[in-house]
Every structure is written in structure tokens, then in C-alpha cells.
Structure 1
Amino acid sequence: MYFYIQDVIVDPEYQGQGLGDKVMFEIETYLQATCKTGATIGLFSAANKEGFYLRYGYLARPTRTLGSGMYKTV
């Protein structure tokens, strides 16, 4: 019913090559096959990295000092 994504990080030397998108594609494929209707998927985004997760349908719940808590319901 509840899923949590932890630490999707690409080494700066390899950023900009689509590796983060490939990781998220695999995660999202697994979640689509596994989650039942009504399941919630949560994660914490690093500050200013929320746009990466917004592309996958996650919604931001911003805080003042940390990156956003984000979630989506399937």
C-alpha cells in the first residue's frame, strides 16, 4: 500500500546522460506492475531537484529548509 523511493543519485561526472531517467523508468515500471489502486509512493527530493520528479507525476510538498517531500497516488 505504501512505497518509498530513496536516494536516486547520479554521480556528477555522469549527469546529463539520461541515467537518472533510466533508473526512474525501471522504478516506475516496477511500481506500475506492483501497486494496487490507491497505493501511495513517497520520496524526499534534494533541494531544487523537484523538477526531476515532477516529470514522473509526483507532487511537491515543500519545506523551508530541506527539499520537498513528494508523493503520488496510483
Structure 2
Amino acid sequence: MSYEIIDRMPTTAEFTAVTAAVGWQHAYDPDAVPASLARSLHGVVAVCDGAVVGVGRVIGDGAIYFYLQDIAVVPEHQGRGVGRALLTALERWIATQAGPRSFVGLFAAGESVRLYEQFGYRRHDDMTGMFRVGPR
């Protein structure tokens, strides 16, 4: 199989299909997805045989803070370097935008931690990632 990595934001339908395929369908308010994608700094898609099989995006303020978000690959295409290719494309774009003291962060779980470590991401003992869902 051949994959093409394209620098563009996924459509709402593409994003929803890929994130549902990896089990994230309940993580997002479907009504908020179009606005979230539109407000992202940059996006990439992985295409195989004309279909989007992977997505990734960068969110943040575009000056100091950059966060890798929603990097996902349809399970049938995992383990073939697609995630690495998406991450490489996002990293290449960040390198054109971020200054030498910019913060580039992400949340990672499971097997994805090893991939991000290969790109220089590390856990820091003096920092704790935290989050909550919804307004208080």
C-alpha cells in the first residue's frame, strides 16, 4: 500500500470517520468539530487509494504554544509508518513557525508514547499533565 501525506485540515467527515475508527467517537461533541478544525493552526491527512486513513493537527497560539492533537490512524493501516509520517509532517510545519523557546506539547497514551519519544518528547517529573471535560 502507498500513502500520501497531505498538508491540509481534514474535513469534518474525514476527521469523524478516522477518530471513530480508533474509538474516539464519544470524545467529541459532533456539533463542535467543524469549529474546532477551523480554529486549528495546521492539519495533515494520510491518504491511501483515495481515502483518508489518518489525521493529525496542531493547535495552540501559533507563537509560543503548539500542541499536537488528534493524531489517529485507522486500525487497518496502523503499524505501517503512517503515524510516523503524520508526525513528521506536523513537526516539519512546527519548525517553520515556532521559535527556539516555544513549547510543543501533547498528551499520549498506550503504545503511542514510544513513537513520540522517538521524536524527542519526554515526560518531566516537575510537570503534570492535567485536564477536565466540560465547563465547571
Structure 1 residue runs of 4 or more that deviate by more than 6 Å after TM superposition: none
1:61 shift after superposition: 4.5
Q: Contact 1:50/1:60 (CA < 8 Å) preserved in 2?
A: no
Greater C-alpha Rg: 2
Partner secondary structure for residue 3 of structure 1: strand
- What does residue range 30-41 of structure 1 map to in structure 2 within 5 Å? 30-41=93-104
1:3 shift after superposition: 0.5
Is 1:15 aligned to residue 78 of structure 2? yes
Partner secondary structure for residue 71 of structure 2: coil
Is 1:29 aligned to residue 76 of structure 2? no
Percent of pairs identical after alignment?
33
Aligned in 2, Cα 1:26/1:38: closer, same or farther, shift over 3 Å?
same
Structure 2: where are the runs of 5+ without partners? Answer: 1-63, 130-136
User: Quick one: which amino acid aligns to residue 106 of structure 2?
Assistant: L
Distance 2:111 2:88 in 1: 21
Q: Contact 1:5/1:42 (CA < 8 Å) preserved in 2?
A: yes
What residue in structure 2 maps to residue 52 of structure 1? 115
Q: Contact 1:4/1:42 (CA < 8 Å) preserved in 2?
A: yes
Deviations 1:24-63 (Å, cap 9, x if unpaired)?
111010011110110001100023421110000001258x
User: Quick one: which amino acid aligns to residue 46 of structure 1?
Assistant: A
Partner secondary structure for residue 9 of structure 1: strand
Aligned alpha-carbon RMSD (Å): 1.9
- Which structure is richer in relative contact order (CA contacts within 8 A, separation 6 or more)? 1
Structure 1: where are the runs of 5+ without partners? Answer: 63-67, 70-74
In the superposition, the TM-score normalised over structure 2's length comes to 0.43
Q: Contact 1:10/1:20 (CA < 8 Å) preserved in 2?
A: yes
